[in-house]
Chain A
Amino acid sequence: MEATFLMNSLWVMLGAILVIFMLGGFIMLEAGSTRMKNAGHIAGKTIFTFGLSSLVFWAVGFGFIFGSNANFLVGLTNFFYSGAELDGMGLSSSVFFVFQMAFAGIAITIALGGFAERAKLSVYLIFTVLFSAIVYPVVAHWIWGGGWLAEHGKQDFAGSTVVHLTGAMAALAATILLKPRIGKFNKDGSANNIYGHNQVYTALGVLILWVGWFGFNAGSTLTVEDGFFGFVALNTNLAAGAGAVAALIISWVVMGRSDVPTMLNGALAGLVAITASCAFVDTWAAVVIGFVAGILVFYSVRFFEKRRIDDPIFALSVHGAAGVWGTISTGFFATPELAAVGKPGLFYGGGFEQLGVQFLGVAVSGLYAFAVSFIILAAAKKVLGGLRVSEEEEIMGLDLSEHGSYGYPEVFMAEENKRLSS
């Protein structure tokens, strides 16, 4: 067997492991940004929904995205994928499958972030199945599976649109239908701070995601050829750094204080934004893209809050707003040497053509993800008699209401139990 084939397989397998480990980052990020009474639920459901989405991806997701005999929406072969080698791959097809499965897992995890602290467990279950079957695969097929956007030359190297925007639009549909958490907004429209219970968890979550992103972006080269993955990793790190710096600066300038959650959002926004463009732009452009994302995420958070949309872990801003910007950024910054897909950007003499393609891709993908997610959730609301836990359950916390045990038992349990369990 050819050495390159083996090395490619090994590299992408490492990427897959890193991407799956990003779930650890999401657990820390999401649990840290929310209250103690929901921590066990958040950690547990993240693992559970990844397991569930993996099964759906194996059954239909992979076939819908990459199968042949495709119609406008999806491909129609390779369901219940057997592990057989597929034609035209420079690496083990099973490794490619695992890598792609990990991406689908990240997309659903982002989407479910918008459900935090108030949705019923059954809603998580139903939405995970349907999102993984008919929302994510369609957008992924259009852009990565040889669909119509791929034919247009849409640039989305590792998934600013496919993974992040799709997840964020589903989260938006969910936050709109679920309505704000109890106590988030006052009658006069002003917002309250529902503090996350552990900023150290949140920061550690961001770090795990940051490291995982090297698998996400650099792994998306799918090959070790020319060591190009190193360049992709370099751009990725620069954008994350610029995002963190920009967000801290804008927080200090506007609010007069260096807000830690804002800075953390900035780092993530830089990562989300560079995801589309990491292979297509120069290093200086990666810094600019990350920096703009860091500023954008700050204003995006304020924008949603003003509209009384309660986004507990900032999924809409970090993955949505930054995902849009990242995708469009290649329309400006893609260089002729690096634009392996599509055309160079506006700043490199490519004119408005690539920018137009990027806009179209973002708009159609975003709209599709939002509309279908909205329909799924609206239907689920009917069938399940509401998406939310009861007021009483929300106040007691989802750890107890949905699972009957606590993430932090010593804090919440009755004195007697406390004595026995500590």
Chain B
Amino acid sequence: MESSFNSYQSLKKWKEEQIIKYPNDTNALNEFHDVTMKAVFTIASEQLKIERSPSWRFAWFTMGSSGRKEQGFLSDQDHGLIFEPGDEEAEAYFLQLGEEISRGLHEAGYPYCEGKVISSNPLWCKPLSKWKRQIQAWMKEESLETIRNLHIFYDSRVLVGKEVYIAELKSCIHQNIQKCPHLLTRMLETSMHIKKSVGPFGQLLTEEKGEHQGELDLKNAAFIPYVNAVRILAAKEGLSETSTIDRMGKLKKMKCYEEEMGKYKSNFAALLKWRLQSYRQSDTYDDTHYLQLKSLLESERNELKKILKDGKKLQRFVIRAIEKGEV
């Protein structure tokens, strides 16, 4: 299939025709996104005027919702490149490739990432040796920014190239956590803010103003608390899975998390389902983060409320697990 596209535009057209075939299956939808993004990579490689030396090795990886296999119908781009060797020629090539991939993804319908987590950004496009130093430096610096970068990096998953690069970098993080559990505390401290979504009388708090007035900010109020909490446990236990559901599944098999994960895994699955259901053809990327409450039944509203409150409980559970080492 991949070779049948010679332009981003034709790929975009194909993507728009095909994507409606996945109305309520997040897994299948994400496999479809993978196929599309890999096709972008192929076109980008062909478009570049300079050739890639056969001796160069690399990994092109995605992060964010794509890394976690949690993309909805519309999704922005978060991706990076790791390569070897670290000479100037290779560096120049991969930065250009990164530029081309980012442009290609944008043209194929994946808007640019606001935080510039893209392969054209030298911060996210480095030879392996520099990546290792960068990860070490992030862990050492422990600032809000560098810990956030670690959060982002931790969801990375290789789409094209050598998977072992990501595994190697993640094992640096795991080793560091073993030696210095304080890093987990920092990861926790920098991801605690949850957008308030249930009022003191149990009412759902929706957007007060703007185009999404009366809608619930699903991304910030619901997804992010679960994603962040589970990522921290995954880092603690050194899991290699990137999707939140898979991470929860793996954690559930461990005795100390069995009960909690049993409770919360279905919550997250329900959130994924709602997001797909609430999608309308006319939506922009920003629109897909909001849930219209009008379309929900009373029972669904109550379920939603429970999920939102559970997000808070899960966070408290993780705080106890990390700070007091109770688990």
Contact = CB atoms under 8 A, between A and B. Distances in A.
Q: Which 5 A-B pairs have the closest CB atoms?
A: A190-B213, A193-B209, A256-B205, A256-B196, A256-B199
Interface string B24-66: 0000000000000000000000000000000000000000000
Contact of A255 (B199, B213, B214): B199
B312 to A, nearest CB: 13
Contacts of B209: 190-193
B286 to A, nearest CB: 14
Contacts of A186: 210-211
A91 B156 CA distance: 81
Contacts of B197: 256
A257 B214 contact: no
Contacts of A190: 209-214
A186 to B, nearest CB: 6
Nearest to A195: B209
* Listed residue (A252, A254, A256, A257) with the most chain B CB atoms within 10 angstroms of its CB: A256
A188 B282 CA distance: 15
Given A191-B210, A252-B200, A255-B199, 12 more contacts: A186-B211, A188-B211, A190-B212, A190-B213, A192-B210, A253-B199, A253-B201, A255-B205, A255-B208, A256-B196, A256-B198, A256-B205
B210 A256 contact: no
Contacts of B201: 253
A391 B167 CA distance: 58
Interface string A252-269: 111111000000000000
Nearest to A249: B200
Given A255-B208, A256-B205, A191 B213 contact: yes
Interface residues of B, number: 15
Contacts of B213: 190-191
Contacts of A257: 196
A254 B214 CA distance: 13
How many interface residues does chain A have, given as a range?
A: 10 to 19
B47 to A, nearest CB: 39
A330 B208 CA distance: 35
A193 B207 CA distance: 11
A186 B211 CA distance: 7
A272 to B, nearest CB: 24
A252 B199 CA distance: 8
12 contacts: A191-B209, A192-B210, A193-B208, A193-B209, A253-B200, A255-B199, A255-B205, A255-B208, A256-B198, A256-B200, A256-B205, A257-B196
Interface string B161-175: 000000000000000
Contacts of B210: 186, 190-193
Interface of A: 186, 188, 190-193, 252-257
Interface string B212-242: 1110000000000000000000000000000
Contacts of A256: 196-200, 205
A193 B205 CA distance: 17
A193 B212 CA distance: 12
A256 B208 CA distance: 11
A190 B210 CA distance: 6
A188 B209 CA distance: 12
A183 to B, nearest CB: 11
A257 B193 CA distance: 14
Contacts of A191: 209-210, 213
Contacts of B214: 190
Nearest to A186: B211
Contacts of B199: 253-256
Contacts of B198: 256
A66 B88 CA distance: 90
B198 to A, nearest CB: 7
Nearest to A190: B213
Nearest to B212: A190
A190 B200 CA distance: 25
A113 B135 CA distance: 56
A199 to B, nearest CB: 16
A128 B205 CA distance: 42
A255 B200 CA distance: 9
Nearest to A191: B209
Interface string B184-207: 000000000000111111010100
Contacts of B205: 255-256
B287 to A, nearest CB: 13
Nearest to B210: A192
A188 B199 CA distance: 26
Contacts of A254: 199, 203
* Listed residue (A188, A193, A254) with the most chain B CB atoms within 10 angstroms of its CB: A254
A349 B205 CA distance: 44
Interface string B226-269: 00000000000000000000000000000000000000000000
B64 to A, nearest CB: 27
A373 B213 CA distance: 33
A324 B211 CA distance: 33
A255 B205 CA distance: 6
Contacts of B208: 193, 255
A126 B138 CA distance: 65
A234 to B, nearest CB: 32
Contacts of A253: 199-201
A93 B209 CA distance: 51
A191 B213 CA distance: 8
A191 B211 CA distance: 8
Nearest to A305: B209
Nearest to B197: A256
A191 B212 CA distance: 10
Contacts of B203: 254
Contacts of B212: 190
* Listed residue (B203, B208, B211, B212) with the most chain A CB atoms within 10 angstroms of its CB: B208
Contacts of B196: 256-257
Nearest to A184: B209
A180 to B, nearest CB: 13
B204 to A, nearest CB: 10
Nearest to B209: A193
Nearest to A189: B213
A190 B209 CA distance: 7
A256 B195 CA distance: 10
A162 to B, nearest CB: 34
Nearest to A302: B208
A190 B206 CA distance: 13
A252 B198 CA distance: 11
A391 B211 CA distance: 22
* Listed residue (A190, A191, A192, A255) with the most chain B CB atoms within 10 angstroms of its CB: A190
A368 B200 CA distance: 42
